[in-house]
Amino acid sequence: MSDAATVDTIAAIATAPGAAGVGVVRVSGPAVPDIASALLGRRPLPRHAHFLALRDRDGALIDRGLLLHFPAQASYTGEHVLELQGHGSAVLLDALLRRVCELGARLARPGEFTERAFLNGKLDLVQAEAVADLIAARSQLAARAALQSKAAIDFPEEEIDFLADPAITRQLEALREEHAQLLREAERGVRLSDGLRVAIIGRPNAGKSSLLNALAGRDRAIVTPIAGTTRDVLRESVQLDGLTLELADTAGLRDTDDVVEREGVRRAQQELAQADVALLVTEHAHRADDLALLADLPDAVVRLVVVNKIDRDGAPGAHEVDDASTLWLSARTGEGLDALRARLREHAAAVLAATRAGELAAEELRQAQHALGEITGSYTSDDLLGAIFGSFCIGK
């Protein structure tokens, strides 16, 4: 809290402009006990309504009304607060305000009472803007008012409409996009931490389990000439230059009447939908029904076509098939596996770059925390406080 806010005693008319039955002058600060004593002629009782004659410095009667003293730490602002309640005449209230200033107060800035409540820990910025009670509004009028600040509700004649400012609207949209981007990067960070999910898919007997064993460096999956041997998702973690690959060997994708195999196909399709990389294993580079397995994948899923069994079908080479990167290899002999590992390494590096490394991800989180702190008030700046509290009425 600033030295000025600690030392100064502030005063303002707290009720709306215009004639009314009752008007209130509010005072807050360390000089309140002395001001109250000067007006009442003695120390007031805490939280007690004293009826008195309110007089100017020459002793002339200004009005008759009530004086209430709220001690520090038990008041709205967290400071000593004095409320003087008289008739709601602008002339009388102005005279009473002048008298209070003569006794040691100064005129309050707009929103300064609520600002002091915030600075003294009596409420956070969200409470200061009274967002919660507006969201809970049960009338159509109150719901529309939820898009405005509490000041716009309490004093509609001021026509305060924060969202009408195009600059604020642009800032809110930019903030929304920043948060959306942060969420996307956080999701990629989770993928990086848990491992890049690689779904090995293809027709039965294409060599999917053999490829899993080759990448894992051990006999993890059962390999037989019988189609449909793999009936469930088989997972294996593989380290590749410090990055974890979560390989998933899936059941061969085909139409079948076998209940167990059909369940395996369903799980394979489910695994494919959650994968970062779809590794299609085939024996024929241009087989249309094999390539169709990749057709409905989300754009974010990386597609790799692996033509297996080249030790039997032909020499290795690099090709492009339907915009999917194609590699030729032999899971049995290991020929072409280094090229596959290199390609997986490239995609892993792309994910790593997308997360912009742990330090930068942490910086994004720090900035998000900083932004949230501006909302709740755990972090503030003079510009922020001025923008919020300066929009309120004087006396609020």
Domains and CATH numbers, the chain: 3-108 (3.30.1360.120), 123-161+381-396 (no CATH), 196-355 (3.40.50.300)
Indicate whether this model's pTM tops 0.85: no
More confident residue, 286 or 154: 286
Identify the band that residue 353 occupies on the pLDDT scale cut at 50, 70 and 90.
low
Identify the band that residue 164 occupies on the pLDDT scale cut at 50, 70 and 90.
low
Task: Find residue 54's DSSP bridge partners.
Answer: 63
Straight-line distance from the first to the last Cα atom of the chain, in angstroms, rounded to the nearest whole number: 18
Q: How many CB atoms lie within 10 A of CB 102?
A: 12
121 three-state secondary structure: coil
Average pLDDT of the chain is 73
The pLDDT of residue 345 is 82
| CA dihedral for 154, 160, 166, 171, sign (positive or negative) | negative
Closest CA to 201 of 299, 122, 281: 281
User: How far apart (Å, rounded) are the C-alpha atoms in residues 233 and 254?
Assistant: 15
The pLDDT of residue 138 is 43
302 three-state secondary structure: strand
